[in-house]
């Protein structure tokens, strides 16, 4: 890349990533914190699910930003493609791909280098760069403009969020790894490919790689109560017959008739992406956040789908379909109510994590003596209903860390291919190196590998495997979300006001239409300025 191109890209990216660099009311995008992490199993278990102590305020005007046009880089002849002797790799990791403290990183580097040498015959030195976690995307942007690929200490491969990936690839920093990915040896062992191929742009270029897929929530239904419902309902023989919202509501109505209610939820909206996973059947195509839609950033709270979703949730809450305790319950309280053996208190449906939680929920039912005769058949998993499948592709997966390779801009892929083979190919080698990453990298759900290791028969849990397979078959990547810097005063007012309006609709104080109208009146100017910045992101640069 030329110096002028680097400067132009850095300037454009500063709109998006840098925080605290001026006193103007710029609205920067910040990396997501919603990837699977060690606390993911309890991510829904705290009071962080519902927005408490919400205040309403009017927005201040955001400053308009205009980018300096990118200069055309000088043309350079394409080098002859040849084998590249890779001597070292500099990788930048973040809290989403934590390798521990310095001593543990050194141990990992030694083991990785030895294992790669044994497997590939290459002697590659690994250098791990860990930015200040408090600096986040600001330090990342500065790091990528502080030198050139191949310089000592300059990143070769970086872990980032999907929202960062979107901007850096458009700015021309990243290498298109689509061919390397398609040719990778691990292709023969993949469980799923869409988590990677869905990152490809309209031209088929792929700039990111992840070895895992994001976990997410599915709707569990108590098998004993579904059996009663099916016996008393024409045309319903299996859980697969509940395939539309109307049928879902009919089932919940049967569950709640003369009892407590049909479904319990820890709040009505999550505070982080994918936001709508606590009540997916009710949210459907609505998405209360700034997200990417058909290649353009939109404010989901201003869409007609939001009006309908809010009214659906409010009506179900008022009619006792959704448990009244959902307004205040955290995940722990919601789980305990779901487990309660008393049918007048307990709920019959609950949306929660797939995978390991299928076992945990079943074991908790056993602990409380619920449906003991059914043993591991206590819970049924509801396939994503038509309205979710048609609008979102299924239940939504949480964002996972994405690896990228920095393009050196010399028109040759020899160096980048060598990095891919040494780092990503071996990361999913099905053996020693893959195990090393699994044991060493925190904050990554290695249980959700796209190419898992052979299963130890003694440790197999068929219930967990069934839940994972079900989730893969019924899920899709969540929409790409713009993460606005939560330190920004305007955005705090906007988010808090948005959540206050959701609570007021569900409490019966106003309609969904009135809430969206009020949102536009109070925060429309802030929303428009945010979208103006988001949609002025740099186009793909010339390499």
Q: How far apart are CA 140 and CA 123, in angstroms?
A: 28
Tell me if 100 is assigned to some domain: no
Q: Which two tokens stand for residue 324?
A: 């009244």
Asked whether 195 and 477 are in contact (CB, 8 A), the reply is yes
The domain that holds 487 is classified in CATH as 3.40.190.10
Asked whether 212 and 35 are in contact (CB, 8 A), the reply is no
Asked whether 15 and 532 are in contact (CB, 8 A), the reply is no
180-218 burial, b at 16+ Cβ within 10 Å, e below that, comes to: bbeebebeebeeeeebbeebeeeeebbbbbbbbbbbbbb
The pLDDT value given to residue 81: 53
Tell me if 390 is assigned to some domain: yes
- Asked, as a colleague might, if the bond just before 274 is cis with ω within 30 of 0, I would say yes
Tell me if 193 is assigned to some domain: no
Task: Give 83-94 pLDDT, tens digit per residue.
Answer: 788 999 999 998
Is the per-residue pLDDT at 458 higher than 60? Answer: yes
Tell me if 332 is assigned to some domain: yes
Tell me if 379 is assigned to some domain: yes
Which residues does 143 contact at the CB level (< 8 Å), separation at least 6?
A: 92, 129, 131, 155
Tell me if 364 is assigned to some domain: yes
Tell me if 35 is assigned to some domain: no
* Arithmetic mean of pLDDT, 410-434: 94
Tell me if 302 is assigned to some domain: yes
Say what the pTM is: 0.82
* Arithmetic mean of pLDDT, 524-541: 79
Q: How far apart are CA 459 and CA 464, in angstroms?
A: 11
Task: Give 135-176 pLDDT, tens digit per residue.
Answer: 455 667 777 888 888 777 899 999 998 888 988 888 889 999
Question: Count of domains in the chain?
Answer: 1
Range of the domain at 507: 217-397+481-534
Residue 487: C-alpha distances to residues 27, 162, 211, 312, 444 (Å): 10, 21, 32, 32, 26
Q: How far apart are CA 234 and CA 176, in angstroms?
A: 54
Task: Give 355-388 pLDDT, tens digit per residue.
Answer: 999 999 999 999 999 999 999 999 999 999 999 9
Helix (H, G, I), strand (E, B) or coil at 379: strand
Q: Which two tokens stand for residue 161?
A: 């969020």
Q: Which two tokens stand for residue 216?
A: 């997410």
């Amino acid at each position: 890349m030329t110096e002028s191109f680097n400067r132009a890209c850095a300037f454009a990216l500063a709109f998006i990533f840098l925080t605290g660099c001026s006193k103007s009311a710029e609205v920067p995008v910040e990396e997501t914190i919603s990837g699977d992490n060690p606390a993911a199993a309890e991510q829904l278990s705290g009071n962080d699910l519902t927005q408490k102590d919400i205040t309403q305020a009017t927005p201040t005007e955001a400053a308009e930003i205009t980018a300096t046009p990118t200069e055309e880089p000088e043309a350079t002849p394409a080098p002859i493609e040849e084998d590249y002797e890779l001597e070292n790799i500099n990788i930048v990791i973040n809290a989403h791909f934590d390798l521990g403290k310095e001593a543990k990183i050194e141990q990992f580097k030694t083991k990785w280098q030895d294992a790669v040498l044994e497997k590939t015959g290459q002697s590659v030195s690994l250098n791990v760069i860990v930015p200040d976690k408090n600096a986040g995307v600001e330090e990342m942007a500065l790091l990528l403009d502080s030198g050139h690929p191949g310089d000592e200490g300059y990143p070769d491969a970086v872990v980032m969020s999907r929202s960062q990936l979107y901007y850096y690839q458009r700015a021309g920093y990243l290498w298109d790894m689509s061919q390397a990915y398609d040719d990778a040896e691990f292709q023969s062992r993949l469980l799923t490919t869409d988590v990677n191929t869905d990152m490809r742009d309209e031209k088929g270029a792929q700039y990111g790689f992840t070895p895992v897929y994001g976990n997410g929530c599915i709707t569990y239904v108590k098998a004993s109560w579904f059996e009663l419902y099916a016996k008393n309902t024409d045309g319903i023989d299996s859980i697969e017959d509940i395939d539309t919202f109307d049928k879902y509501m009919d089932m919940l109505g049967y569950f709640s008739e003369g009892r407590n209610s049909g479904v319990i939820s820890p709040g009505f909206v999550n505070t982080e992406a994918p936001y709508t996973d606590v009540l997916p059947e009710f949210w459907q195509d609505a998405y209360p956040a700034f997200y990417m839609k058909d290649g353009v950033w939109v404010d989901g709270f201003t869409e007609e789908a939001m009006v309908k979703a809010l009214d659906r949730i409010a009506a179900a809450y008022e009619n006792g379909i959704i448990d009244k305790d959902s307004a205040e319950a955290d995940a722990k309280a919601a789980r305990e109510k779901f487990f309660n053996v008393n049918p007048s208190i307990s709920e019959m449906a609950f949306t929660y994590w797939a995978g390991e939680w299928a076992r945990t929920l079943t074991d908790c039912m056993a602990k409380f003596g619920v449906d003991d005769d059914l043993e591991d058949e206590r819970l049924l998993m509801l396939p994503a209903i038509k309205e979710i499948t048609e609008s979102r592709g299924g239940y939504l997966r949480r964002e996972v860390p994405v690896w990228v390779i920095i393009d050196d801009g010399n028109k040759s892929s020899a160096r980048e291919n060598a990095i891919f083979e040494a780092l990503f190919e071996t990361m999913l080698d099905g053996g020693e190196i893959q195990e090393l990453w699994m044991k060493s990298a925190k904050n990554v759900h290695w249980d959700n590998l796209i190419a898992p290791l052979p299963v130890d028969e003694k440790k197999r849990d068929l219930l967990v495997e069934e839940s994972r397979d079900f989730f893969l078959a019924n899920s899709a990547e969540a929409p790409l979300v713009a993460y606005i810097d939560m330190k920004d005063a305007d955005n705090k007012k906007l988010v808090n006001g948005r959540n206050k309006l959701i609570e007021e609709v569900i409490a019966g104080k106003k309609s969904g239409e009135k809430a969206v109208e009020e949102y536009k009146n109070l925060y429309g100017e802030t929303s428009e300025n945010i979208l103006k910045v988001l949609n002025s992101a740099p186009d793909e640069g010339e390499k």
